[in-house]
Protein backbone atom coordinates (compact mmCIF):
# COMPACT_ATOMS: atom_id res chain seq x y z
CA UNK A 1 0.00 0.00 0.00
CA UNK A 2 2.76 2.39 1.05
CA UNK A 3 4.86 1.46 -2.02
CA UNK A 4 1.90 2.15 -4.27
CA UNK A 5 1.40 5.55 -2.65
CA UNK A 6 5.07 6.48 -3.14
CA UNK A 7 4.89 5.34 -6.77
CA UNK A 8 1.83 7.50 -7.45
CA UNK A 9 3.47 10.47 -5.72
CA UNK A 10 6.61 9.99 -7.83
CA UNK A 11 4.52 9.85 -10.99
CA UNK A 12 2.72 13.06 -10.05
CA UNK A 13 6.04 14.78 -9.32
CA UNK A 14 7.54 13.61 -12.61
CA UNK A 15 4.53 14.83 -14.58
CA UNK A 16 4.59 18.21 -12.79
CA UNK A 17 8.31 18.57 -13.64
CA UNK A 18 7.79 17.55 -17.27
CA UNK A 19 4.80 19.89 -17.57
CA UNK A 20 6.67 22.83 -16.06
CA UNK A 21 9.47 22.27 -18.58
CA UNK A 22 7.10 22.65 -21.50
CA UNK A 23 7.78 25.87 -23.33
CA UNK A 24 5.05 28.52 -23.04
CA UNK A 25 2.67 29.18 -25.90
CA UNK A 26 2.47 32.62 -27.52
CA UNK A 27 0.13 33.91 -30.22
CA UNK A 28 1.31 37.16 -31.81
CA UNK A 29 -1.69 38.89 -33.39
CA UNK A 30 -1.40 41.82 -35.80
CA UNK A 31 -4.29 44.16 -36.59
CA UNK A 32 -2.89 46.03 -39.60
CA UNK A 33 -3.16 49.82 -39.31
CA UNK A 34 -4.96 49.77 -35.93
CA UNK A 35 -4.02 53.21 -34.59
CA UNK A 36 -3.23 53.38 -30.85
CA UNK A 37 -6.14 55.70 -30.04
CA UNK A 38 -8.82 53.52 -31.71
CA UNK A 39 -8.87 51.78 -28.31
CA UNK A 40 -10.14 54.98 -26.71
CA UNK A 41 -13.31 55.29 -28.80
CA UNK A 42 -15.41 53.20 -26.44
CA UNK A 43 -16.23 50.62 -29.12
CA UNK A 44 -13.83 47.81 -28.17
CA UNK A 45 -15.30 46.13 -25.05
CA UNK A 46 -13.56 42.81 -25.69
CA UNK A 47 -10.11 44.29 -26.19
CA UNK A 48 -10.81 46.39 -23.09
CA UNK A 49 -11.32 43.22 -21.02
CA UNK A 50 -7.89 42.02 -22.12
CA UNK A 51 -6.37 45.42 -21.35
CA UNK A 52 -7.94 45.32 -17.87
CA UNK A 53 -6.28 41.98 -17.14
CA UNK A 54 -3.01 42.35 -19.01
CA UNK A 55 -0.36 44.85 -20.11
CA UNK A 56 -1.33 47.88 -22.16
CA UNK A 57 1.24 50.29 -23.61
CA UNK A 58 0.21 53.82 -24.50
CA UNK A 59 1.26 53.03 -28.07
CA UNK A 60 3.66 50.99 -30.18
CA UNK A 61 6.10 53.11 -32.15
CA UNK A 62 6.78 51.68 -35.59
CA UNK A 63 10.10 51.89 -37.38
CA UNK A 64 10.57 54.16 -40.38
CA UNK A 65 8.97 54.01 -42.89
CA UNK A 66 5.68 53.32 -41.09
CA UNK A 67 4.54 50.81 -43.70
CA UNK A 68 3.30 47.24 -43.49
CA UNK A 69 6.15 44.99 -44.63
CA UNK A 70 9.03 46.94 -43.08
CA UNK A 71 7.25 46.95 -39.71
CA UNK A 72 5.97 43.41 -39.55
CA UNK A 73 9.52 42.38 -40.34
CA UNK A 74 10.94 44.73 -37.67
CA UNK A 75 8.60 43.19 -35.11
CA UNK A 76 9.63 39.64 -35.99
CA UNK A 77 13.41 40.29 -36.39
CA UNK A 78 14.06 43.08 -33.85
CA UNK A 79 15.81 45.11 -36.56
CA UNK A 80 15.28 48.43 -38.28
CA UNK A 81 14.25 48.19 -41.94
CA UNK A 82 17.68 49.51 -43.03
CA UNK A 83 19.17 46.40 -41.38
CA UNK A 84 16.58 43.70 -42.14
CA UNK A 85 16.46 44.79 -45.76
CA UNK A 86 12.74 45.49 -46.34
CA UNK A 87 13.18 49.24 -46.70
CA UNK A 88 9.62 49.58 -48.01
CA UNK A 89 6.69 47.49 -49.28
CA UNK A 90 8.41 47.65 -52.65
CA UNK A 91 11.82 48.86 -53.80
CA UNK A 92 14.23 48.45 -56.66
CA UNK A 93 17.14 46.07 -56.13
CA UNK A 94 19.95 47.89 -57.93
CA UNK A 95 22.17 44.79 -57.85
CA UNK A 96 19.73 42.17 -59.18
CA UNK A 97 17.99 44.80 -61.33
CA UNK A 98 14.67 43.53 -60.07
CA UNK A 99 11.78 44.87 -58.01
CA UNK A 100 11.06 43.59 -54.51
CA UNK A 101 7.33 43.56 -53.78
CA UNK A 102 4.95 42.18 -51.16
CA UNK A 103 4.55 38.89 -53.04
CA UNK A 104 8.26 38.24 -53.56
CA UNK A 105 9.52 35.46 -51.31
CA UNK A 106 13.15 35.05 -52.43
CA UNK A 107 15.03 34.83 -49.15
CA UNK A 108 17.97 37.01 -50.25
CA UNK A 109 15.86 40.13 -49.71
CA UNK A 110 15.02 39.18 -46.13
CA UNK A 111 18.01 39.78 -43.85
CA UNK A 112 18.13 39.18 -40.11
CA UNK A 113 16.54 36.22 -38.41
CA UNK A 114 12.78 36.11 -37.91
CA UNK A 115 11.73 34.89 -34.48
CA UNK A 116 10.16 31.70 -35.85
CA UNK A 117 13.63 30.71 -37.12
CA UNK A 118 15.30 31.57 -33.79
CA UNK A 119 12.62 29.50 -32.03
CA UNK A 120 12.96 26.51 -34.33
CA UNK A 121 16.78 26.53 -34.04
CA UNK A 122 16.07 26.08 -30.33
CA UNK A 123 13.62 23.23 -30.79
CA UNK A 124 10.43 25.28 -30.46
CA UNK A 125 7.98 24.78 -33.33
CA UNK A 126 6.36 27.81 -34.95
CA UNK A 127 3.35 28.44 -37.16
CA UNK A 128 1.95 31.40 -39.05
CA UNK A 129 -1.54 32.21 -40.18
CA UNK A 130 -0.05 35.00 -42.27
CA UNK A 131 2.83 37.34 -41.55
CA UNK A 132 5.02 39.24 -43.97
CA UNK A 133 8.16 37.18 -44.55
CA UNK A 134 6.62 33.87 -43.43
CA UNK A 135 6.63 32.39 -46.95
CA UNK A 136 10.34 32.66 -47.81
CA UNK A 137 11.61 30.16 -50.35
CA UNK A 138 13.96 28.36 -47.93
CA UNK A 139 12.40 26.00 -45.41
CA UNK A 140 14.64 26.97 -42.49
CA UNK A 141 13.56 30.61 -42.85
CA UNK A 142 9.85 29.78 -42.51
CA UNK A 143 7.65 28.63 -39.65
CA UNK A 144 7.09 24.85 -39.85
CA UNK A 145 3.39 25.47 -40.48
CA UNK A 146 2.45 28.46 -42.62
CA UNK A 147 -0.32 29.60 -44.93
CA UNK A 148 0.12 31.30 -48.29
CA UNK A 149 -1.34 34.79 -47.95
CA UNK A 150 -5.01 34.90 -48.87
CA UNK A 151 -6.52 38.34 -48.34
CA UNK A 152 -10.05 36.88 -48.57
CA UNK A 153 -9.65 34.10 -46.02
CA UNK A 154 -12.55 34.65 -43.58
CA UNK A 155 -11.28 35.92 -40.24
CA UNK A 156 -12.91 33.22 -38.15
CA UNK A 157 -11.34 30.49 -40.31
CA UNK A 158 -7.95 31.95 -39.47
CA UNK A 159 -8.70 31.58 -35.76
CA UNK A 160 -10.09 28.07 -36.24
CA UNK A 161 -6.83 27.20 -38.05
CA UNK A 162 -4.75 28.44 -35.13
CA UNK A 163 -6.85 26.42 -32.66
CA UNK A 164 -6.36 23.31 -34.82
CA UNK A 165 -2.58 23.75 -34.58
CA UNK A 166 -2.82 24.13 -30.80
CA UNK A 167 -4.71 20.83 -30.60
CA UNK A 168 -1.89 18.88 -32.30
CA UNK A 169 -0.15 16.24 -30.22
CA UNK A 170 2.72 17.51 -28.07
CA UNK A 171 5.48 16.52 -30.52
CA UNK A 172 3.84 18.36 -33.43
CA UNK A 173 2.24 21.30 -31.68
CA UNK A 174 3.62 24.79 -32.41
CA UNK A 175 4.33 26.99 -29.38
CA UNK A 176 4.71 30.23 -31.30
CA UNK A 177 2.02 31.33 -33.75
CA UNK A 178 1.40 34.52 -35.72
CA UNK A 179 -2.01 35.69 -36.85
CA UNK A 180 -2.88 38.66 -39.09
CA UNK A 181 -5.97 40.73 -39.97
CA UNK A 182 -5.92 43.53 -42.56
CA UNK A 183 -9.35 45.05 -41.86
CA UNK A 184 -8.48 48.35 -40.14
CA UNK A 185 -5.75 49.11 -42.69
CA UNK A 186 -8.08 48.64 -45.67
CA UNK A 187 -10.92 50.71 -44.18
CA UNK A 188 -8.50 53.32 -42.83
CA UNK A 189 -7.13 53.88 -46.35
CA UNK A 190 -10.49 53.93 -48.07
CA UNK A 191 -12.50 56.04 -45.63
CA UNK A 192 -9.94 57.65 -43.32
CA UNK A 193 -9.24 57.26 -39.58
CA UNK A 194 -12.17 59.48 -38.55
CA UNK A 195 -14.93 57.85 -40.61
CA UNK A 196 -17.97 55.84 -39.49
CA UNK A 197 -16.62 53.04 -41.71
CA UNK A 198 -13.36 52.74 -39.73
CA UNK A 199 -15.41 52.55 -36.53
CA UNK A 200 -17.32 49.59 -37.99
CA UNK A 201 -13.97 47.99 -38.85
CA UNK A 202 -12.67 48.57 -35.31
CA UNK A 203 -15.82 46.89 -33.95
CA UNK A 204 -15.30 43.97 -36.35
CA UNK A 205 -11.76 43.52 -35.03
CA UNK A 206 -13.10 43.62 -31.48
CA UNK A 207 -15.53 40.78 -32.33
CA UNK A 208 -12.72 38.81 -33.92
CA UNK A 209 -10.84 39.19 -30.63
CA UNK A 210 -13.87 37.93 -28.70
CA UNK A 211 -14.01 34.86 -30.96
CA UNK A 212 -10.30 34.18 -30.41
CA UNK A 213 -10.69 34.39 -26.62
CA UNK A 214 -13.80 32.20 -26.50
CA UNK A 215 -12.24 29.62 -28.85
CA UNK A 216 -9.19 29.38 -26.59
CA UNK A 217 -11.43 28.98 -23.55
CA UNK A 218 -13.68 26.36 -25.20
CA UNK A 219 -10.62 24.31 -26.05
CA UNK A 220 -9.09 24.60 -22.57
CA UNK A 221 -6.25 26.70 -23.91
CA UNK A 222 -6.57 29.53 -21.42
CA UNK A 223 -2.87 29.48 -20.47
CA UNK A 224 -1.87 30.77 -23.91
CA UNK A 225 -0.04 34.14 -23.93
CA UNK A 226 -1.44 36.69 -26.35
CA UNK A 227 0.34 39.70 -27.79
CA UNK A 228 -1.77 42.09 -29.89
CA UNK A 229 0.16 44.58 -32.00
CA UNK A 230 -0.27 46.77 -35.03
CA UNK A 231 2.33 47.70 -37.58
CA UNK A 232 1.46 51.42 -37.78
CA UNK A 233 -1.42 53.88 -37.46
CA UNK A 234 -3.16 56.04 -40.06
CA UNK A 235 -3.64 59.75 -40.81
CA UNK A 236 -6.07 61.70 -42.96
CA UNK A 237 -4.85 62.75 -46.38
CA UNK A 238 -6.45 64.98 -49.00
CA UNK A 239 -6.57 65.51 -52.73
CA UNK A 240 -5.70 69.16 -51.96
CA UNK A 241 -2.33 68.17 -50.52
CA UNK A 242 -0.51 66.41 -53.35
CA UNK A 243 2.94 67.55 -54.55
CA UNK A 244 4.12 66.48 -58.01
CA UNK A 245 7.84 65.90 -57.53
CA UNK A 246 8.43 64.63 -61.06
CA UNK A 247 7.13 67.89 -62.48
CA UNK A 248 9.39 69.82 -60.09
CA UNK A 249 12.38 67.84 -61.42
CA UNK A 250 11.33 67.70 -65.06
CA UNK A 251 14.20 67.32 -67.47
CA UNK A 252 16.45 65.50 -64.98
CA UNK A 253 15.52 61.93 -65.82
CA UNK A 254 15.32 60.82 -62.18
CA UNK A 255 14.31 57.37 -60.98
CA UNK A 256 11.43 57.54 -58.47
CA UNK A 257 10.48 54.93 -55.89
CA UNK A 258 7.46 55.04 -53.59
CA UNK A 259 4.87 57.81 -53.42
CA UNK A 260 2.57 59.31 -50.80
CA UNK A 261 4.26 59.80 -47.40
CA UNK A 262 7.78 59.20 -48.69
CA UNK A 263 9.70 59.05 -51.91
CA UNK A 264 13.17 57.85 -52.83
CA UNK A 265 14.92 59.48 -55.77
CA UNK A 266 17.97 58.39 -57.74
CA UNK A 267 19.07 61.10 -60.19
CA UNK A 268 21.72 60.47 -62.86
CA UNK A 269 24.90 60.56 -60.71
CA UNK A 270 26.35 63.72 -62.28
CA UNK A 271 23.10 65.56 -61.56
CA UNK A 272 22.77 64.66 -57.90
CA UNK A 273 23.84 68.07 -56.51
CA UNK A 274 21.71 70.00 -58.96
CA UNK A 275 18.63 67.90 -58.25
CA UNK A 276 19.15 68.09 -54.52
CA UNK A 277 19.54 71.91 -54.66
CA UNK A 278 16.33 72.19 -56.66
CA UNK A 279 14.46 70.07 -54.13
CA UNK A 280 15.83 72.18 -51.26
CA UNK A 281 14.72 75.39 -53.02
CA UNK A 282 11.21 74.02 -53.40
CA UNK A 283 11.11 72.33 -50.02
CA UNK A 284 7.57 73.01 -48.84
CA UNK A 285 5.45 70.48 -46.95
CA UNK A 286 8.20 67.90 -47.31
CA UNK A 287 11.87 67.56 -46.34
CA UNK A 288 14.63 66.34 -48.64
CA UNK A 289 17.70 64.51 -47.36
CA UNK A 290 20.66 62.94 -49.03
CA UNK A 291 20.61 59.31 -47.94
CA UNK A 292 23.68 59.62 -45.71
CA UNK A 293 22.19 62.71 -44.00
CA UNK A 294 18.78 61.28 -43.08
CA UNK A 295 18.57 62.17 -39.36
CA UNK A 296 19.78 59.40 -37.06
CA UNK A 297 16.39 59.01 -35.39
CA UNK A 298 14.88 57.64 -38.60
CA UNK A 299 17.52 54.87 -38.86
CA UNK A 300 17.10 55.04 -42.61
CA UNK A 301 20.40 55.55 -44.36
CA UNK A 302 22.48 52.37 -44.16
CA UNK A 303 20.91 50.35 -46.93
CA UNK A 304 22.19 50.94 -50.49
CA UNK A 305 18.75 50.39 -52.07
CA UNK A 306 17.36 53.44 -50.26
CA UNK A 307 18.62 55.52 -53.20
CA UNK A 308 20.43 58.87 -53.20
CA UNK A 309 17.71 61.18 -51.94
CA UNK A 310 14.91 60.57 -49.46
CA UNK A 311 11.85 62.84 -49.29
CA UNK A 312 9.57 62.68 -46.26
CA UNK A 313 6.22 64.43 -46.58
CA UNK A 314 4.67 66.45 -43.78
CA UNK A 315 1.75 64.66 -42.12
CA UNK A 316 -1.25 64.49 -44.45
CA UNK A 317 0.70 65.50 -47.59
CA UNK A 318 1.34 63.14 -50.51
CA UNK A 319 4.34 63.08 -52.85
CA UNK A 320 3.85 61.82 -56.38
CA UNK A 321 5.53 61.21 -59.69
CA UNK A 322 3.35 61.48 -62.81
CA UNK A 323 2.20 57.88 -62.62
CA UNK A 324 1.29 58.04 -58.93
CA UNK A 325 -0.49 61.34 -59.55
CA UNK A 326 -2.75 59.74 -62.17
CA UNK A 327 -3.51 56.91 -59.76
CA UNK A 328 -4.28 59.35 -56.94
CA UNK A 329 -6.54 61.47 -59.15
CA UNK A 330 -8.43 58.39 -60.26
CA UNK A 331 -8.96 56.90 -56.85
CA UNK A 332 -7.85 59.06 -53.99
CA UNK A 333 -7.95 57.36 -50.62
CA UNK A 334 -8.69 59.20 -47.37
CA UNK A 335 -6.00 57.77 -45.14
CA UNK A 336 -2.35 56.80 -45.35
CA UNK A 337 0.72 55.83 -43.32
CA UNK A 338 4.44 55.70 -43.97
CA UNK A 339 5.17 59.14 -42.44
CA UNK A 340 7.58 60.07 -39.64
CA UNK A 341 7.33 57.18 -37.19
CA UNK A 342 7.65 59.55 -34.21
CA UNK A 343 4.35 61.25 -35.02
CA UNK A 344 1.70 59.61 -32.85
CA UNK A 345 -0.76 59.26 -35.75
CA UNK A 346 1.64 56.60 -37.03
CA UNK A 347 1.66 54.68 -33.74
CA UNK A 348 0.01 51.32 -33.32
CA UNK A 349 -1.16 49.24 -30.34
CA UNK A 350 0.53 46.89 -27.91
CA UNK A 351 -1.53 44.70 -25.57
CA UNK A 352 -0.20 41.55 -23.91
CA UNK A 353 -2.10 39.06 -21.79
CA UNK A 354 -1.42 35.69 -20.20
CA UNK A 355 0.62 33.94 -17.50
CA UNK A 356 3.91 35.50 -18.67
CA UNK A 357 2.62 39.08 -18.39
CA UNK A 358 1.77 41.43 -15.56
CA UNK A 359 -1.91 42.09 -15.13
CA UNK A 360 -3.72 45.44 -15.03
CA UNK A 361 -0.43 47.07 -15.96
CA UNK A 362 -0.11 50.26 -17.98
CA UNK A 363 3.07 51.60 -19.50
CA UNK A 364 4.25 54.24 -21.98
CA UNK A 365 5.12 53.92 -25.64
CA UNK A 366 7.10 50.81 -26.61
CA UNK A 367 9.30 50.31 -29.69
CA UNK A 368 8.39 47.56 -32.12
CA UNK A 369 12.03 46.40 -32.48
CA UNK A 370 11.94 45.35 -28.81
CA UNK A 371 9.31 42.64 -29.35
CA UNK A 372 11.83 40.13 -30.77
CA UNK A 373 14.08 40.16 -27.65
CA UNK A 374 10.91 40.01 -25.52
CA UNK A 375 9.84 36.83 -27.31
CA UNK A 376 13.32 35.36 -26.82
CA UNK A 377 13.08 36.10 -23.09
CA UNK A 378 9.63 34.49 -22.83
CA UNK A 379 10.98 31.29 -24.41
CA UNK A 380 14.32 31.57 -22.56
CA UNK A 381 16.39 31.43 -25.74
CA UNK A 382 19.24 33.67 -26.90
CA UNK A 383 18.40 36.48 -29.30
CA UNK A 384 20.67 37.15 -32.29
CA UNK A 385 23.43 39.54 -31.27
CA UNK A 386 23.07 41.89 -34.25
CA UNK A 387 19.56 43.15 -33.50
CA UNK A 388 18.52 46.78 -32.86
CA UNK A 389 15.95 45.92 -30.20
CA UNK A 390 16.69 45.86 -26.48
CA UNK A 391 15.23 43.64 -23.78
CA UNK A 392 16.06 46.26 -21.13
CA UNK A 393 13.45 48.64 -22.54
CA UNK A 394 10.59 46.13 -22.37
CA UNK A 395 11.38 43.32 -19.90
CA UNK A 396 9.53 45.04 -17.04
CA UNK A 397 6.14 44.07 -18.54
CA UNK A 398 6.82 40.40 -17.77
CA UNK A 399 5.74 38.74 -14.56
CA UNK A 400 8.58 38.43 -12.03
P1 LIG B 1 0.00 48.68 -47.05
O2 LIG B 1 0.17 48.94 -48.52
O3 LIG B 1 1.24 49.06 -46.30
O4 LIG B 1 -1.23 49.33 -46.52
O5 LIG B 1 -0.15 47.11 -46.92
C6 LIG B 1 -1.31 46.44 -46.45
C7 LIG B 1 -1.61 45.26 -47.33
O8 LIG B 1 -0.54 44.33 -47.31
C9 LIG B 1 -2.79 44.43 -46.88
O10 LIG B 1 -4.01 44.97 -47.27
C11 LIG B 1 -2.52 43.09 -47.52
O12 LIG B 1 -3.17 43.00 -48.77
C13 LIG B 1 -1.02 43.09 -47.77
N14 LIG B 1 -0.40 41.99 -47.00
C15 LIG B 1 -0.36 41.86 -45.67
N16 LIG B 1 0.29 40.73 -45.30
C17 LIG B 1 0.68 40.15 -46.43
C18 LIG B 1 1.38 38.94 -46.74
N19 LIG B 1 1.83 38.13 -45.77
N20 LIG B 1 1.60 38.64 -48.05
C21 LIG B 1 1.17 39.46 -49.03
N22 LIG B 1 0.48 40.61 -48.81
C23 LIG B 1 0.23 40.94 -47.54
ZN1 LIG C 1 0.07 47.92 -42.46
ZN1 LIG D 1 -1.88 50.41 -45.33
Residue 12 within any structural domain of the chain: no
Identify whether the C-beta of residue 371 lies closer than 8 Å to the C-beta of residue 75.
Answer: yes
Using a 6 Å cutoff on CB, does residue 185 contact ligand 1?
yes
Residue 16 within any structural domain of the chain: no
Residue 7 within any structural domain of the chain: no
The pLDDT tens digits along the chain (400 residues) read: 566 655 555 555 555 444 557 899 999 999 999 999 999 999 999 999 999 999 999 999 999 999 999 999 999 999 999 999 999 999 999 899 999 999 999 999 999 999 999 999 999 999 999 999 999 999 999 999 999 999 999 999 999 999 999 999 999 999 999 999 999 999 999 999 999 999 999 999 999 999 999 999 999 999 999 999 999 999 999 999 999 999 999 999 999 999 999 999 999 999 999 999 999 999 999 999 999 999 999 999 999 999 999 999 999 999 999 999 999 988 789 999 999 999 999 999 999 999 999 999 999 999 999 999 999 999 999 999 999 999 999 999 999 8
* Same-domain pairing of 208 and 260: no
CA dihedral 211, 214, 216, 220 (to 10 degrees): -160
Domain boundary residue, one of 314, 332, 350: 332
* Same-domain pairing of 209 and 274: no
Q: How many domains does the chain have?
A: 2
* Same-domain pairing of 166 and 226: yes
* Same-domain pairing of 78 and 125: yes
Domain boundary residue, one of 275, 302, 332: 332
* CA dihedral sign, ordered 256, 262, 264, 265: positive
* Same-domain pairing of 180 and 244: no
Distance 87 CA to ligand 2 centre (A): 14
Residue 142 within any structural domain of the chain: yes
Identify whether the C-beta of residue 318 lies closer than 8 Å to the C-beta of residue 229.
Answer: no
* Angle subtended by helix axes 196-218 and 183-191, to nearest 10: 170
* Same-domain pairing of 101 and 181: yes
Domain boundary residue, one of 302, 332, 362: 332
Using a 6 Å cutoff on CB, does residue 89 contact ligand 1?
yes
Identify whether the C-beta of residue 336 lies closer than 8 Å to the C-beta of residue 234.
Answer: yes
Using CA atoms, how far apart are residues 345 and 36, in angstroms rounded to an integer? Answer: 8
* Same-domain pairing of 314 and 179: no
* CA dihedral sign, ordered 153, 159, 160, 164: positive
Given ligand 1 and candidates 31, 32, 103, which is best to mutate, with the most ligand atoms within 8 Å of its CB?
Answer: 32
Residue 310 within any structural domain of the chain: yes
* Same-domain pairing of 179 and 309: no
Residue 15 within any structural domain of the chain: no
Residue 346 within any structural domain of the chain: yes
Residue 10 within any structural domain of the chain: no
CATH assignment at residue 293: 3.30.1360.180
* Same-domain pairing of 181 and 83: yes
CATH assignment at residue 92: 3.40.720.10
* Same-domain pairing of 172 and 106: yes
Using a 6 Å cutoff on CB, does residue 292 contact ligand 1?
no
Residues annotated as catalytic are 68
Ligand 1: which atom is nearest the Cα of residue 185?
Answer: 4
* Same-domain pairing of 106 and 250: no
Domain carrying residue 92? 23-236+341-397
* Same-domain pairing of 283 and 392: no
Residues constituting the chain: 400
Amino acid sequence: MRKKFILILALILISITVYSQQPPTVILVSFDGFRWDYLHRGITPNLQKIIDNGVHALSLQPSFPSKTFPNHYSIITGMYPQNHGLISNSFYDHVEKDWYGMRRNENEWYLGEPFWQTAQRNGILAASYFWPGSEQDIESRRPKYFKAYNHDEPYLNRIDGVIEWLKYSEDKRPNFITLYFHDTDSYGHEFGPNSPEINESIKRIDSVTAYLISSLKDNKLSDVNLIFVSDHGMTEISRERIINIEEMLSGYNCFFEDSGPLMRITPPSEKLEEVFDLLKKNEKNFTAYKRKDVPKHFNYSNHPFIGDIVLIAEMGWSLADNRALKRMERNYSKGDHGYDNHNTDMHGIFIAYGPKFKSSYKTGTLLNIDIYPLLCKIFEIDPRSNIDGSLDRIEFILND
